[in-house]
Amino acid sequence: MRQKLPDVLRSPYFWSLLFLAALLIFNILFTERFGVIEVRDGHFYGNIMDILRRSVPTVLLGTGMTLVIATGGIDLSVGAVIAVSGAIGALLARDGYPLPVIIALPLAAALISGVWNGFLVAKIGIQPFVATLILMVSGRGIAQLLCGGQIIKFSDPSFEYISAGFILGFPFSMYLAAAVLAAVQTVTRKTALGLFIESIGVNPAASRCVGINATSIKLIVYAFSGLCAGIAGLLLTTEIRGADANNVGLNLEMDAILATVIGGTAMTGGKFYLAGSVIGALIIQTLTTTILARGVTRPATLVVKAIVVISISLIQSSVFRSQLSGLLAGRGGRA
């Protein structure tokens, strides 16, 4: 007889939250000066603040990615869109354009990139993997062309505020991410949009039969994912006050997918968990910060990350969990 796990253990958030908490507790106990939070220049300063601030781009990307994955798709282009948006923002800032232009044009470019992905996927019917791969490759090239192979540096305090500014001691970018999350949560859960997205992911044919317009919903989610990448691009570019087209956002699409998967949203689409993706993003950044704070060497970093990801993914899988509990029950019986 198979034992049923208690409900709390099957919650999509339980295991990832447990892991995040364990990681933080481990660090606070064993990593030198990890838990110390000071007040410097009127804002909080410490490793934990770094985790919060640096996870914002992944949180944003993860939010867009979660919706895309829920429709059964994937968006590989977000890293490249970051580079494009950052390059445009940096060029405008360098040439002294007013702030609204510096913010609006990159975001418009990112939105267009997203709409383009959505168009290829929803209208033309190209597989999401391939459709977004096109922009993943070409987008970085476009950004490199814009920057002419150089890091475009700028100095514009009002633009830099989005990653260097603080409100009540907390980074401005955190509020930004919270606002985006709150908006998405409201739109998807207080309207039927969330349900439509999930139903497309679960069964596209049946959703069409009940009259859900998959084309426009897919367009919306890809466009939104592009927009999120655009915001992340502005954050990462202002972080170093320069557009580094070769490196900015490199492999971040993988982190966004990872955050989504760790958060409990299945790659096959269907039910999605925004809060889970946020926890996923926090786990990824906590791992990175832990590794830097403890001085682990780089090759080891990748192995550690891989092990963590595999364990969390396994434990998230209900199939694996039921097999495990079956195994445990079997052993208990024999003893």
Partner 1 sequence: MKHKRVLLLTLVSVVLLAFGCAAFAADTLVVGFSQIGAESGWRTAETESVISAAKDLGIDLKFSDAQQKQENQISAIRAFIAQGVDGILLAPVVETGWEPVLTEAKEAGIPVILLDRGITVADESLYVCKITSDFIFEGEQAAKWTAAELGGKGNVVQLQGTPGASAAIERQKGFEDELAKTPDIKILESQTGDFTMELGKQVMEAFLKKYGNDIDVVYAHNDDMGLGAVQAIKEAGLKPGADIKLITVDATKAAFEAMVAGEVNAVVECNPLLGPLAFETLKKALAGEKLDKWIVQVDQVFTKDQAASVIGSRKY
Which residues sit at the interface with partner 1, rule CB under 8 A? 32-34, 36, 40-41, 45-47, 50, 54, 144, 148-151, 153, 164, 236, 239-242, 244, 246-248, 288-289, 292-293, 295, 297-299
Closest CA to 233 of 131, 86, 111, 121: 86
Q: For partner 1, which is the closer residue by CB, 104 or 164?
A: 164
Q: For partner 1, which is the closer residue by CB, 96 or 333?
A: 96
| Cβ at position 175, least distance to partner 1 in Å | 18
At residue 249, what are phi and psi to the nearest 5 degrees? 70, 10
Q: For partner 1, which is the closer residue by CB, 16 or 85?
A: 85
| Cβ at position 50, least distance to partner 1 in Å | 6
| Cβ at position 21, least distance to partner 1 in Å | 21
Contact present, 262 and 312 (Cβ < 8 Å): yes
Contact present, 198 and 70 (Cβ < 8 Å): yes
Q: For partner 1, which is the closer residue by CB, 135 or 197?
A: 135
| Cβ at position 330, least distance to partner 1 in Å | 45
Structure tokens, 185: 């949560």
Q: What is the 3-state secondary structure (H, E, C) of 63-127?
A: HHHHHHHHCCCCCCCHHHHHHHHHHHHHHHHHCCCCHHHHHHHHHHHHHHHHHHHHHHHHHHCCC
Q: For partner 1, which is the closer residue by CB, 69 or 147?
A: 147
| Cβ at position 228, least distance to partner 1 in Å | 19
Q: For partner 1, which is the closer residue by CB, 127 or 246?
A: 246
| Cβ at position 3, least distance to partner 1 in Å | 44
Torsion sign, CA atoms 89, 95, 100, 104: negative
Contacts 24+ apart (CB under 8 A), 27-32: 27/286, 27/290, 27/293, 31/290, 31/293, 31/294, 32/293
Q: For partner 1, which is the closer residue by CB, 35 or 330?
A: 35
CA distances from 34 to 26, 45, 238, 254 (A): 10, 11, 26, 27
| Cβ at position 236, least distance to partner 1 in Å | 7
| Cβ at position 279, least distance to partner 1 in Å | 21
CA dist 237 and 69 (Å) reads: 26
CA dist 283 and 58 (Å) reads: 11
Q: For partner 1, which is the closer residue by CB, 40 or 189?
A: 40
Instruction: Supply angle C-alpha 90, 99, 164, rounded to 5.
Output: 70
Contact present, 75 and 131 (Cβ < 8 Å): no
